[in-house]
């Protein structure tokens, strides 16, 4: 009887944590979507718009040769504009979605490394982070880069648990996507190597 009660308590605790995670994700979404069009496009956003004018990925990439930025975000923005339009809100939403997903991933990483409570707290901290909110409301590639770094870290921990060929391939693909979004994402490999060395 006691074992049954213990299982029931664990299930209720798990459900409570899942509800808290969902509430934090909704809060993150609200904070990133609220006033999304409050300010007009500024300088760097203008560059993003200009680089993504062409619907042809090779032309978008060619425009970036002198700018030295990787092309993935700008190609995605070009495609996104063809579907969602050229309004400030539409273009900025492309940064909002990966920003929200990053909050969810940070929650999962915290749970994996420490505890469900740590995951909830980490997700809440990122959800309320003013810098992350500001970057998620711009037509820029940073939220997508953050998402790739969080996703590669999540897959990295899964790979440590069970290093299958499929997880190795997925990890490699995510690293490539990260680099094609922003070069500084390579730093996450350094962090993961240091983690491996110390654990």
CA distance 190 to 90: 35
- What pLDDT does 6 receive? 61
> Which stretch of DSSP H or E encloses residue 88?
helix 88-113
- Cβ(109)–Cβ(154) below 8 Å: yes
pTM of the model: 0.91
pLDDT tens for each residue of 72-125: 999 999 999 999 999 999 999 999 999 999 999 999 999 999 999 999 999 999
pLDDT tens for each residue of 20-46: 999 999 999 999 999 998 888 888 899
Whose CA is closest to 88, among 137, 31, 15?
Answer: 137
């Amino acid at each position: 009887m006691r074992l049954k009660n213990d299982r029931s308590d664990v299930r209720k605790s798990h459900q409570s944590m899942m509800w808290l995670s969902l509430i934090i994700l909704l809060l993150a979404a609200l904070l990133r979507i609220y006033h999304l069009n409050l300010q007009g496009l500024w300088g760097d956003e203008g560059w993003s718009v200009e680089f993504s004018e062409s619907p042809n990925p090779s032309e978008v990439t060619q425009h970036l040769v002198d700018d030295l930025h990787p092309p993935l975000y700008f190609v995605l923005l070009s495609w996104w504009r063809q579907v969602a339009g050229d309004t400030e809100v539409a273009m900025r939403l492309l940064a909002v979605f990966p920003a929200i997903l990053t909050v969810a991933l940070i929650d999962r990483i915290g749970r994996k490394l420490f505890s469900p409570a740590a995951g909830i707290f980490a997700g809440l901290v990122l959800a309320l982070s003013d810098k992350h909110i500001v970057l998620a409301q711009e037509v820029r590639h940073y939220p997508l880069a953050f998402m790739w770094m969080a996703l590669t870290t999540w897959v990295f921990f899964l790979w440590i648990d069970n290093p299958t060929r499929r997880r190795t391939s997925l990890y490699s693909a995510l690293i490539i996507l990260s680099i094609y979004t922003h070069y500084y994402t390579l730093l996450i490999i350094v962090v993961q190597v240091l983690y491996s060395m110390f654990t």
